[in-house]
Amino acid sequence: MKISYQVIGSLMLILAACSKNTDTPVNTELQNNADKVMAFIQSMGYKSSNIVDNGDAYIVAGDVRFPKNMQVPDTKIRTEHRWTGSKLSVANAANIRIKIDSSMTSMTAEIKIAINQWNDSRAPGLHFSLSAGDYDILIKDADLGTGNCGQATFPSGGAAGNLILVNKTYIASHTQAQRQRTIMHEMGHTISLMHTNETEGLLTNSNLPDILSLMNGGQCNTGPFILSAGDKRAVAWLYP
């Protein structure tokens, strides 16, 4: 029985197409977790229209990163303070190690001031420290575009958000106090504090409005650069 080369070629194309389809599995587990992360963000009160898909993470309120592979907390946990149930474990909160990436060494002074201010917040269970080796949070430079001072990852699984991105070139012309404010503000996000001046996703134990809150959003280069009394009450409630 003779088979033409044309028929053989057609069969090979069909087999190749079938093989290609079977070699590209869909990562349903990752997608399912991303869907859970989206649902968690929405449970905090954020609208879908205000959640930006940034590839490997969702960005909320301009500067808070929710990685799509993060461990999603129990969204049923609630208190009278509208707590979402995602904070650091007691052990992790007591020793949060920050590493300064080589791209951010020029702002080491600002980072140290930010660390000292959080450590003086009168939250007994919270302490930050600098580390040259193992770390919980990495601070590094990133081009985030005009108008964006920084971004930070929200905590999950009892651990601090592991990344703070600082738009170093953009904030270089700001005063040292305002550069320190940017870093300190983003550190607040890594331990679960959201923007005090937003009704969506509110996560503070302070009276609103608090115009003195360092955690107010949309105040790049204009906001307070020390913790307000309300900020201190909020973090002391989270980490007693």
Determine how many CB atoms are found less than 10 A away from the CB of residue 152.
26
Q: What is the CATH number of domain 84-238?
A: 3.40.390.10
User: Is 60 exceeded by the pLDDT of residue 4?
Assistant: no
- Residue 115, classified by CB atoms within 10 Å of its CB into exposed (0-12), middle (13-18) or buried (19+), is buried
Angle separating helix axes 176-190 and 108-119, nearest 10 degrees: 50
Beta-carbon contacts of 133 under 8 Å, excluding residues fewer than 6 positions away, are 99
| Radius of gyration for the alpha carbons in the chain, expressed in angstroms and rounded | 23
pLDDT in tens, 81-132: 334 567 899 999 999 999 999 999 999 999 999 999 999 998 999 999 999 9
Q: What's the mean per-residue pLDDT of the chain? A: 82
Tokens of 133: 């080796």
Number of helices (H) and strands (E), helices first, in the chain? 7, 8
155-177 pLDDT, tens per residue?
989 999 999 999 999 999 999 99
Task: State residue 236's pLDDT score.
Answer: 92
pLDDT on residue 165? 98
Domain boundaries of the chain, sorted by first residue? 84-238
CA 89 to chain centroid, in Å, comes to: 17
The pLDDT confidence band at residue 199, using thresholds 50, 70 and 90, is low
Q: Give percent above pLDDT 70 in the chain.
A: 80
- AA identity, residue 87: K
Residues 26, 110: Cα–Cα separation, whole Å: 44
- Report angle CA 215, 216, 217 to the nearest 5 degrees: 110
User: For residues 226 and 65, what is the distance between their CA atoms, to the nearest angstrom?
Assistant: 23
Q: Average pLDDT, stretch 188-196? A: 90
Residues 6-33: b if buried by 16+ CB within 10 A, e if exposed: eeeeeeeeeeeeeeeeeeeeeeeeeeeb
Looking at residue 42, its pLDDT comes to: 86
Residue 33 clears pLDDT 70, i.e. is over it: yes
- With H, G, I as helix, E, B as strand and everything else as coil, classify residue 110: helix
